[in-house]
Structure formats: structure tokens, C-alpha cells
Amino acid sequence: MRTLHIASRSQWEVALGQLEAWFISNEIDAAIQSKLFIAFDEIVSNIFNHNSQEIPIEIEVTCEKKPTLISLNFTDNCKLFNPLNSNKKESDAIGGWGLDIVKQLMDDIEYKVVDNKNCLTVKKQIL
């Protein structure tokens, strides 16, 4: 298991490097890595872009490998919001499709509130 901490956009780039190192050390297939990188990037981007609070953002990403799957758990201190309840319509403005892409790339995605923080978990099978 590996935990990454992101409190600024510059730390986001550092976390990507740490995630890549974790993938390599856990011998994660390149195709799976690519999908998880996209999910990571889209979710962290959404957290930064949709934060409406005046407090510093704190994001914690826990990476876990089990025998048959990889999970990335994103916890943030932003305003509580379940992105899985958001309805996207074709008539909406261009953009905002990141979570739809994540849903297509991942095998499972869950949201819950823990200690008054948003927790979004994505899972990808590695069999």
C-alpha cells in the first residue's frame, strides 16, 4: 500500500511520479497503468477545479494492490459532493466528461463520506 499527499497543483506532478514508481515496484501491466493514470489525473483535476471553498485543499490518495485488483482511494477535504449522483446530459457544454471516462476505464467506482471528507474509490481488475 502507498499513500500520496497532494495539497497543490505542483505536488500533483510529484504524486504522478510517485504513483508511477509504485506501479513499477508492483509490476503493474502498462495497459492497466495507463487507465489508472487517466483516472488519477481526471479525479485530482476535478477536485482542484471544482473546489469552491476558501480553505487549502488536502488530497490523500491510497494505492492498494490485491491479488486480483488495484484500488485508488481519493480522500479530500473539499465541500461534500457525490460525483456519482451528477447527471451529465449530451446538451451540456463541452467538457466535464472526465468522470464518465473514469467510469468506462474502471471496473468499479464508489463514493462515501468518511470523517466529513469525500472518499472516492476506483478499482481495476488485474487478472
39 three-state secondary structure: helix
Residue 94 near residue 88 (C-beta atoms within 8 A): no
Res 106: pLDDT: 97
39 band by pLDDT with thresholds 50, 70 and 90? very high
Q: Is the pLDDT at 37 greater than 80, yes or no? A: yes
* pLDDT attached to residue 91: 43
The pLDDT of residue 93: 52
Domain that holds residue 21: 2-125
pLDDT of residue 66: 96
In angstroms, the CA 73 to CA 64 distance is 8
Residue 109 sits in a domain of what CATH number? 3.30.565.10
Query: Given a cut of 90, is residue 101 above it in pLDDT?
Result: yes
Q: Provide the CA 51 distance to its chain's centre, in angstroms.
A: 15
Mean pLDDT on 24-45: 96
Give the total number of structural domains in the chain: 1
- Asked if residue 53 has pLDDT above 80, the reply is no
